[in-house]
Amino acid sequence: MFASDPPYLDVVIEVPRGSFIKRGSTGRVDFISPLPCPFNYGSVPNYIGLEGDLLDALVLGPRLRFGTRLRVKPWGAVSLTDRGMTDDKLVCSHHPPSLSERRDVLRFFRLYAKCKGFINFWRRRPGRNACEGWCGAGEALARARPRDAAWRGSPVEF
């Protein structure tokens, strides 16, 4: 958590809350989920995450349309390991998340990591899958790098 209020960030929604369609930062459909996404999920277009794609962000609150752009505060992050690559997911909202909301986010990403592990095994993509837990948004932003004009999309196939 930040010592004071976190800064506002621009976030673009790629997966509306309740959607089954997972689109990547390029807008291309990555996959269709058997379960709806419990959060608005998207990315911060000004930062690149550890795996080389735009920094992931989820936005708590009511459903937002695909492509919605908003300025919102990151109150924390969840670190996720997928195929051995660590990736931070900023947790954003217009208000600090309650303890219950934080628990729900962690519960979701723990289940998500297990499901991704199964899918990766089935696809023969090796590497560890795990939810590493909650960290401060400042830590996640410090691990990210600013996006520059050379970025052309994720180097990792999802």
Give per-residue pLDDT as tens, 15-28: 999 998 887 767 77
Residue 115 and residue 149 in contact, taking contact as beta carbons nearer than 8 Å: no
Q: What is the pLDDT of residues 84-137, one digit of tens each?
A: 788 999 999 999 999 999 999 999 999 988 888 888 888 888 888 899 999 999
Lowest-confidence segment of 2-11, 35-44, 52-61, 85-94 by average pLDDT = 2-11
What confidence score (pLDDT) does residue 40 get?
97
CA dihedral 8, 49, 102, 59 (to 10 degrees): 50
CA atoms within 13 A on the CB side of 15: 26
User: In the structure, what pLDDT confidence band is assigned to residue 63 with cuts at 50, 70 and 90?
Assistant: very high
What confidence score (pLDDT) does residue 82 get?
84
Nearest to 81 by CA among 52, 108, 110: 110
What confidence score (pLDDT) does residue 158 get?
56
Percent of the chain with pLDDT over 70: 94
Domains and CATH numbers, the chain: 9-145 (3.90.80.10)
Mean pLDDT calculated for residue range 60-76? 96
Mean pLDDT calculated for residue range 20-38? 80
